[in-house]
Amino acid sequence: MDHLNYIQAFRDPAAAGALRARLQELGATLAARGRHVQVMEVCGSHTMSIARFGLRDLLPLNVTLISGPGCPVCVTAPGYIDAAIELARRGVIVATFGDMLHVPGSDSSLADCRAAGGRIEVCYSPRGSLALAQANPGCGVVFLGIGFETTIAPVVSLLTRAAEARVTNLSLLTSFKLVPPALRAVLDDPGVKVDAFLCPAHVSAIIGLQPYEPFARKYGKPCVVAGFEPLDILAGLCAILAQVQEGRAEVENEYDRVVRPEGNPKARAVMERFLQPADAQWRGIGMLPASGLALRPEFADYDAEKRFGFSVGPGREPAGCLCGEVIKGKLAPPRCPLFATRCTPTAPVGPCMVSSEGTCAAWYKYERNQANG
Ligand code: SF4
């Protein structure tokens, strides 16, 4: 089967119709018991797929989807952007993935800094920053290492390549984050109602299923891992509603063509070699203990904060932006007064409108004419 046909197999309308019918049947049973079920889709790619394929319209009326803290760009604190801008102002070359360019810091973005003459270079892979460092041996190069478990191993592997190539002018400004502590923070917040998690696909491919067990056993929340195609998501939601209907709370894997129960031990070994647990600042959530990973002391030469003698602060959120509430699942984007007025993808106020995985961007692109929210 070629790639296109492979993808289309997970977008088959007849199969989607059958899953919709099953969802409606499960929803009706739960509605008869007076149950409303609120499911948090953790990952930004799920958010985008749900909006793009109109999956919200297929749900029973007593089932709601809310977005979680799974967009890595959105949860990056403004102080981190401020730090990257400060590095560029000091003459350092800042290398980054393109989706970070327009993320607002406390007062400006990396795009503003670049327009003012700062050397901000967009890379398409971490290796791009190594090539930059080799091409500019007289200049410090800092790669912005952000992201969840999915992307951490490829970023820190860069350090092995730098050491092999004897490149000494490359370092990382890290803001690596872990998904399970963020889910715990969501559940511990009395202002957020979550009945179940649709768990992220790529993150689960690295961490496996075990890290979700406490959410099922201790908190009684069904956790179902699902892929990104429409049939994946609908099947994941069916599995969640079936658990709720039967009074179960278990970890299930509806994406076993990619996610293995044990995850990817090799990737985790790479992470373990370079990184250690650290407290991390989350935009909208604040400082969460042991929710991130920082370079181990033996790799201090590659740590931009140590090399350039500064530390990343929390920064300030853009005035009027409610991304923090969106990230925690407390607010649907249309309820932000700035949504689609002062805040649009071409003039974003907050990161949730910037990122290709951002909840506000997803609603703006696909669902902004819907009255609910
Ligand atoms: S609509 Fe814009 S200002 Fe409002 S929460 Fe989303 S990104 Fe922030």
CA–centroid distance, residue 141 to ligand 1 (Å): 32
The residue type of 275 is L
Residue 340 three-state SS: coil
The reported pLDDT for the residue numbered 8 is: 78
Ranges of each domain in the chain: 37-364
What six digits make up the tokens of 285? Answer: 């959530």
- Which 8-state DSSP code applies to residue 172? E
| Ligand 1 pocket, mutate which of 323, 328, 335, 355 (most atoms under 8 A from CB) | 323
Residue-wise DSSP of 31-76: HHTT--EEEEEEEHHHHHHHHHTTGGGGS-TTEEEEEEEE-TTTTB
298 CA distance to ligand 1 middle (Å): 40
What pLDDT, on a 0 to 100 scale, did the predictor assign at position 11?
85
Q: Which atom of ligand 1 lies nearest, measured to the CA of 336?
A: 4
pLDDT given for residue 360 in this prediction: 96
User: In angstroms, what is the span from residue 349 Cα to ligand 1's centroid?
Assistant: 6
> What is the atom index within ligand 1 of the atom nearest the CA of 339?
1
CA of 328 to the centre of ligand 1 (A): 13
The Cα-based distances of 314 to 78, 80, 97 in angstroms read 6, 7, 21
> Which of 164, 115, 121 has its CA nearest to residue 142?
121
Dihedral, 288, 289, 293, 296 alpha carbons, nearest 10: 150
User: For residues 205 and 255, what is the distance between their CA atoms, to the nearest angstrom?
Assistant: 9
Whole-angstrom Cα Rg for the chain: 21
Per the CB < 8 A criterion, the answer to whether 109 and 103 are in contact is yes
Q: Which long-range contacts (CB under 8 A, 24 or more apart) does 335-340 make?
A: 335/373, 336/360, 339/363, 339/364, 339/368, 340/364, 340/368
Question: For the domain 37-364, what is the CATH superfamily, name and number?
Answer: HypD, alpha/beta domain 2 (3.40.50.11740)
Give the contacts of 334 (CB within 8 A, at least 6 positions apart).
340, 363, 368, 370, 372, 373
Q: Residue 230's pLDDT is what?
A: 96
- Give the pLDDT confidence score for residue 9 in this predicted structure: 80
Centre of ligand 1 to C-alpha 98, Å, is 20
Residues 255 and 201 sit within 8 Å (Cβ to Cβ): yes
Shortest-distance Cα residue to atom 7 of ligand 1: 350
Give residues (CB < 6 A) around ligand 1. 321-323, 326, 333, 336, 338-339, 343, 349-350, 352-353, 360
User: Which residue's CA lies nearest to atom 6 of ligand 1?
Assistant: 360
User: Residues 255-290, buried b or exposed e (16+ Cβ, 10 A)?
Assistant: beeebeeebbeebbebbeebbeebebbbbbbeebee
- Please give the chain's pLDDT, 373 residues, in tens: 676 677 778 888 999 999 999 999 999 999 999 999 999 999 999 999 999 999 999 999 999 999 999 999 999 999 999 999 999 999 999 999 999 999 999 999 999 999 999 999 999 999 999 999 999 999 999 999 999 999 999 999 999 999 999 999 999 999 999 999 999 999 999 999 999 999 999 999 999 999 999 999 999 999 999 999 999 999 999 999 999 999 999 999 999 999 999 999 999 999 999 999 999 999 888 899 999 999 999 999 999 999 999 999 989 988 999 999 999 999 999 999 999 999 999 999 999 999 888 999 999 999 987 744 4
State the closest ligand 1 atom to the C-alpha of 351, by its place in the atom list counted from 1: 7
Q: Which of 359, 363, 348, 362 is nearest to 101 (CA)?
A: 348
**Which of 71, 73, 102, 326 is the pocket-test mutation for ligand 1 (most atoms within 8 Å of CB)?**
326
Q: How far apart are CA 370 and CA 342, in angstroms?
A: 18
Give residue 323 CA to ligand 1 midpoint distance, Å. Answer: 5
Q: Which pLDDT belongs to residue 371?
A: 47
Name the DSSP class of 343: B
pLDDT of residue 153: 95
Ligand 1 centroid to Cα of residue 361, in Å, is 9
- This prediction has a pTM of 0.93
